[in-house]
Amino acid sequence: MLQPPPAAPGMPEDEIDTPALVLDLDAFEANLDRMAGFLTNSPVKLRAHAKTHKSPVIARLQIARGAIGQCVQKVAEAEALAWGGIPDILVSNQVVGAAKLARLAALQGISKVAVCVDDAVQVGALEQAAAAAGTRLTVLIEIDCGASRCGVQPGPAAVELAKVIAASPHLIFGGLQSYHGSAQHKRGPEERAAAIGHAAEVTRRTVEQLAQQGLGCAIVGGGGTGTFENEVASGVYTEIQAGSYAFMDADYARNEQPPPFRQSLFVLATVMSRAIPGVAVVDAGHKAVAIDSGLPLVHGRPGLHYVGASDEHGKLLVEDGAAPPLGEKLRLVPGHCDPTVDRYDWYVGVRKGRVECLWPITARGGMG
């Protein structure tokens, strides 16, 4: 089931077989360095989100620059990171179901793995799984700080739930998960600031109410690539959870005052047809590049516009004089980096036109 890699180290970029997920290593490393620099003198730490990159290799590069660990969104990602040597992992999400909880508890032997909860019934299931595995699980409470998706209400409801966790012999109350996902792509910086201002305020109040009950928050986590500067400035959060900053995508680039990172992730595609006048077709459709947040952009080739994705075809409109020859390889900027990465088995790391490395995307795929 393992797909062979589409390239080999040393090969010119132009010989990479397509579609391929190409990482511009200079831009990628600059992004990691920039985030590390931003947090150098801050009490807030980076726990980068691995749902973006799905790779223990990239996790290690982030940790080498000061990240204190990784977030993941599901048990399969936690497994891939733990098996890949990452020692500190937060599942920034609910995990439901006996089989999954047993898998989660089984990881405690090799890594420190924490998880979130937003339901008292689920605290009981977590306690049972930890007891059965003979371990203790650190549990954070997810609060709904504005996204209205998961999370208990901030304030008293969270305090009640924390008491249930604290009273469970095999659980450790670890703090709060307070991520405002829909704020990341609010276009205006004022809108983003207002959303995170509200999130930080309700989080601050909840932390205080917990403290009044003797329940300390070792972790107060949240913040993504679109808003992490707001969370850091609030003074409420101890950790930020940005992931996309390493790669960027066309959707983040549409934010006013977009995040200060470079586009490092591309889908390399080949022009496979030019039979229709004014049209070119590439071999990257929506199985090769995610379109949930808009179509990809053609990078560095003015006059070519990606206007339609079918399963295995991308249709480009071609302006006069911009027609690509059959076989030309084009870099596409994905609309959304996370689910694009999820389509591939390999990163092809490229520097100065040459393939430098191949990294497996071990946490990809539909499994939970």
Which residues, numbered 18-47, are part of the site for a copy of itself (CB under 8 A)? Answer: 18-21
Chain positions 55 to 114 lying near a copy of itself, rule: CB under 8 A, are 73-74, 76, 93-97, 99-100
Minimum distance from CB of 132 to a copy of itself (Å)?
A: 16
> For residue 90, what are the β-bridge partners?
71, 114
What is the pattern of x (binds a copy of itself, CB under 8 A) and - over residues 229-268?
----------------------------------------
Residue carrying structure tokens 């199985």: 287
Cα–Cα distance measured from residue 161 to residue 117, given in angstroms and rounded to the nearest whole number: 9
In terms of Cα–Cα distance, which of 340, 347, 325 is closest to 273?
325
Using the 8-state DSSP alphabet, how is residue 12 labeled?
B
178: contact with a copy of itself by CB under 8 A? no
Cα 363 from Cα 96, distance rounded (Å):
19
CB of 310 to a copy of itself, least distance (A): 7
**Residue 159 vs 279, nearer CB to a copy of itself:** 279
Of 181, 258, 294, 303, the one binding a copy of itself (CB under 8 A) is 181
Of positions 313, 317, 322, 354, contacts a copy of itself by CB under 8 A:
313
Q: Report DSSP letters for 241-272, one per residue.
A: ---GGGT--HHHHTSSS--S----EEEEEEEE
* Part of the chain binding a copy of itself (CB under 8 A), chosen from 60-68, 81-89, 163-171, 339-347: 339-347
For residue 69, list its beta bridge partners.
47
CA distances from 105 to 72, 136, 204, 314, 364 (A): 15, 8, 30, 43, 21
Among 145, 199, 288, 330, binds a copy of itself (CB under 8 A): 288
Q: According to CB under 8 A, which residues from 192 to 211 bind a copy of itself?
A: none
Cβ proximity to a copy of itself, 44 vs 58, nearer residue: 58
CA separation for the pair 151, 149 (Å, rounded): 7
Q: How many residues does the chain have?
A: 368
Q: How far is the CB of 66 from a copy of itself (least distance, A)?
A: 25
Pairwise CA distance, residues 224 & 184, whole Å? 6
Residues 113-152 that bind a copy of itself (CB under 8 A): 118-119, 121-122, 142, 144, 148-152
**Distance of closest approach, residue 177 Cβ to a copy of itself, in angstroms:** 12
Distance from chain centroid for Cα 234: 22
Return the number of the residue (234 or 340) whose C-beta is nearest a copy of itself: 340
Give the position of tokens 């990606």: 306
How many residues make contact with a copy of itself (CB under 8 A)?
Answer: 73
| 366 near a copy of itself (CB under 8 A) | yes
Q: Is 326 in the site for a copy of itself (CB under 8 A)?
A: yes
- The Cα–Cα gap between 340 and 26 comes to 20
| DSSP H/E element including 115 | strand 112-117
Between 38 and 346, CB nearer to a copy of itself: 346
Q: Which of 4, 43, 169, 353 binds a copy of itself (CB under 8 A)?
A: 4
Residue 219 zone, left/alpha/beta (φ > 0; ψ -120 to 50; rest): beta
If the CB atoms of residues 119 and 356 are measured against a copy of itself, the closer one turns out to be 119
Yes or no: say if 231 and 187 are a contact pair by the CB < 8 Å rule. no
Sole window of 168-176, 211-219, 253-261, 275-283 interacting with a copy of itself (rule: CB under 8 A): 275-283
| Chosen residue from 175, 221, 335, 339 binding a copy of itself by CB under 8 A | 339
Copy the structure tokens of residue 291. Answer: 């379109």
| Among 29, 229, 239, 338, interactor with a copy of itself by CB under 8 A | 338
